[in-house]
Every structure is written in C-alpha cells, then in structure tokens.
Amino acid sequence: MHLTVSSIQSSAKKKKEKSFYYFLQCCISSLAPYIGVYCVLTSFSYDTIFYSLTFALTFLLYTSFHLSRKPISIVKSELHKNCSSVSELATAAASSSQQPSRASLHTDMDCSWKPFDKSNYKQLLGAMDYSFLCAYAVGMYLSGIIGERLPIRLYLTVGMLTSGLFTCLFGLGYIYNIHSLGFYIFVQVANGLVQTTGWPSVVTCIGNWFGKGRRGLIMGLWNSHTSVGNILGSLIAGYWVSSNWGLSFIVPGLIIAVMGIVCFLFLIEREYSLLMTGGGGRSESEPSAISFMGALRIPGVIEFSLCLLFAKLVSYTFLFWLPLYITKAAHLDAKKAGDLSTLFDVGGIVGGILAGVISDKLGKRATTCAVMLLLAAPTVSCMLLVCGGLVNGPYALITTAVSADLGTHKSLKGNARALSTVTAIIDGTGSVGAAVGPLLAGLLSAGGWDQVFYMLMTADFLALLLLLRLVTKELTSRKPRPISTVE
C-alpha cells in the first residue's frame, strides 16, 4: 500500500483528535454523578450533549468579544463631560462654603479627560472609533484566509488573550494618568486587528456542526450573543464609569481573556460524530482552501456583502454613539444613559430570532432582510426597542445564516473550508460600513443630531436597494427552499 506523507499526517491528526474527545467523554461521564446531572446527561446521546456544548460555548465566546467592545461608548460621556453644567453645580456648592472662585477653576480644569476636553472632542472620539473599526475591517479580510489554514481553537484562543490584553491597556490609561491621543489610537488599532479572529472562527465552528434545515432559527438564537454582549458590556462599564472608568475596560478585558482559556480547553471544532467515525467518510487529502476571488464568484456574496456594509453602518453608529446622544439629548448621567441604550440591544435579540424564524418558514432570506430594512427607516430616530429589532434583524441574518449558506454553496462541491473566507468577506465588507458610520456621526453631530439620523435613514435605504435583485429572484422563483437566492 502506498502511503503519502500527507495521508500519514492526516491519520495521526485524526487519532489525536479521537483520543482527546474520548478523554473529554470520559471526563463528562466521571464528573456527572458529582454535579448531580448524571440522569440528565444519560437521557441524551453524546451527540446531543456535544451539540449543546458547542452551541453554548461559541455563544459565550462571542458574547465576550462584544462585551469588551461596548465600554468605549459608555465611557465617552465621561471622557468629555458637560463642563458648564458641572461647573455651575460646583460653583453653587462652593458658594455655600465661601470659596466660589477656587472651586469653579478646579472644575473647569478637571471635569473632562485630556485630550478630550477640547471643543473638537466629537471628532477625537470619532477618530478612536474609526481607528478600531478600520483596523477591524482590514484585518477581517485576512483573518478568514488565515483562519482556514490554522486550527480554529488555537487561532481563537490567541485572539481572545491578546484582545483582553489591549482592552485592559485602554483602562490602564486612567490608572496611570495617560493623556496621549496616540496611545489610545494605538490600543484601538491593535485591538481591532486581534478581534478579527473571533467572527470567522465561531461561525465556521457552528456551521460545521449545524446543517441547513433550521439554520435561520438556530443561528437567530445563537446570534443574540451580539446583543447580550452589548447589554452586559453596558452594565459592567456603567457600574464603574463615574467612579473609575479604567475598570470599565479592565474587567471586560479580563473576562475575554478568561474565556480565551476556556476556548482552548473545551472548544470542539468539528462535529463529534464525524470525529468518532474517522472524519465522516472524507478522503485522506482534504480540499484546499478557497481563494479570495473564488469566494467572490459565489452567487449572492457581493450583494449581501454590500447590503451588510450599510446595515452595519447603522447598527454600529448606534453601538458607539447612542449612549452619548442620550446623555446630551436627555441630560442623563453616563450610567443611566448606558442602561437606557440597552433597549436597542434587547430589540436586537428579538429581531435576530424573528428574522431567522421567518426566513426559515418562507425560504426567502433576502426578502426577509428587505422588509425589515424598509420598516426600520421610520423608526431610526425614535422607538429604540423596535428600531433595534428591525436594524439588527437583517444584520444578524446576513452575518450568520446567509454566510453559512453561501459558505456551503453547491458550487463549492462540498468544500466546507470556504466557510471561513466567505464569512470574513461578508463581515469584512460590513465592517467598512461599521468604520465609516461612527466617523460620519462624529463629524455630522457637530451640526446637530438630526443630520446623523438622516444619514442613518439614507444608509438603510441603500441597504434595501442592494438586495432588490435577490428579492426579485426569490419572489419569481417557485422553489420554496430556505436558500433559494444562494443556490
């Protein structure tokens, strides 16, 4: 028998994977009686247990990614406070103690964090958002290609540990009294690059485990990790924002680092049953990873990518600027504004699930996105809960179920290694919009918040227009299949 070097290496790799998962299986069996769930575990097959474990673990992993991104939007109102109102309160308090001038001077000097104490603070804050999101967008195109060639578990672990490091570094700027804009920009750029390891990895992992049958519902539920992470990030950052905003970054940074260790210990990259049967009948030589141009030629990739660019522009503008807008418009403190902004993310959870359920039922992904985008436009400037659902519904559907559908398109002839690259292209293009949106918001808000909302409405309609060809194709097709536009 002729054995190639690659076949020997592949066989050794599978044996190693088998031994690891047999060990994990034994651990679960031995620990179950001690944690009081033995009867529950034994009532299900090991496949069910491992499916649930993968779903829950990838959910928590990406929750920690968004949890670590949210603090900057909460801390913005603390980096630049309304110094005039703070000064008036301090002057009134000082008047009662017969020391008005000294107290007023102290407040004017210290109420904001340099260099964000200047009149152009919105542009500076927008530049910080842009530096993170621009690095994220550029890095995302490379991340999917790199991720297909490395073990997902190791790639994701390194990304989470380094992301935790840079998130903590931002918070240390408060503790060590750092006032250099260059320092904060550098941390944001570095963090944006390493955070690109997350999305292609978790989508590839979940796509390897769950088939197309009810993918919209499953991934709609799973994608709520985005909103859950935003909510938790808002609450954690808001707890310390007024007393020590450095901890608003350090605590989320430690959380994502700890989750990186959990990822290394427990993440299962491929379906358990395939591993136990020696790879599910695959040939010894695995298919090569798809090229960037090859992924672009898959029908639907370009349209959904450009649609996501504008949909994500709207979503991330809310993510980074909503708490500051609430602070200025409603005159609330940073903690209350952060808590109120979570209504947008609560709506996003419901919207993502509804988009998945409806698209599974109708078999029309593009049409579902288009209808929600059409309804979203009038709600952009009001109704946070409804707006969150209608804006994040299409965003969630495109980045999860649609990406997974396109990454396993029939033209790929079973090459599942394309999933990471397709996911990275779609989310990378969307991240360009995510970078531009907050930057435009920082520039336009100087002339009034109404201009920001007009920009968001325009982006919403452009996202809708880019889906018209696919919507027409779905509505004229007589095949009621869940992925009719992408086959």
What are the pLDDT digits (tens) for 143-176? Answer: 877 877 788 899 999 999 999 999 999 999 999 9
Q: b/e map of 14-34 (b: 16 or more CB within 10 Å)?
A: beebeeebeebeeeeeeebee
What is the rounded CA–CA span in Å between residue 233 and residue 63? 9
What are the pLDDT digits (tens) for 175-201? Answer: 999 999 999 999 999 999 999 999 888
The per-residue pLDDT for 294 is 75
Check residues 114 and 173 and name the one with the higher pLDDT: 173
What is the rounded CA–CA span in Å between residue 203 and residue 223? 10
For the ranges 30-44, 324-338, 434-448, the lowest mean pLDDT is seen at: 30-44
Classify residue 17: in a domain, yes or no.
no
The per-residue pLDDT for 109 is 44
Going by C-alpha positions, the residue among 134, 133, 129, 121 that lies closest to residue 446 is 121
Find out whether 318 and 380 touch, Cβ atoms under 8 Å.
no
What is the value of pTM for the model shown? 0.72
Arithmetic mean of pLDDT, 50-73? 91
Classify residue 191: in a domain, yes or no.
yes
State how many domains the chain has.
Answer: 1
For 194, the token pair is 């390493």
The per-residue pLDDT for 23 is 52
DSSP string over 15-83: HHHHHHHHHHHHHHHHHGGGGT-HHHHHTS-HHHHHHHHHHHHHHHHHHHHHHHHTHHHHHHHHHS--H
Classify residue 182: in a domain, yes or no.
yes
What are the pLDDT digits (tens) for 334-365? Answer: 788 888 888 888 888 899 889 988 988 888 88
For 76, the token pair is 């913005």
Q: What is the mean pLDDT of the chain?
A: 78
Classify residue 5: in a domain, yes or no.
no
Q: Which domain holds residue 263?
A: 44-476
For the ranges 24-33, 225-234, 249-258, 315-324, the lowest mean pLDDT is seen at: 24-33
The per-residue pLDDT for 340 is 84
Find out whether 145 and 204 touch, Cβ atoms under 8 Å.
no
| Residue positions counted in the chain | 487
The per-residue pLDDT for 25 is 55
User: Which CATH number goes with the domain that contains 461?
Assistant: 1.20.1250.20
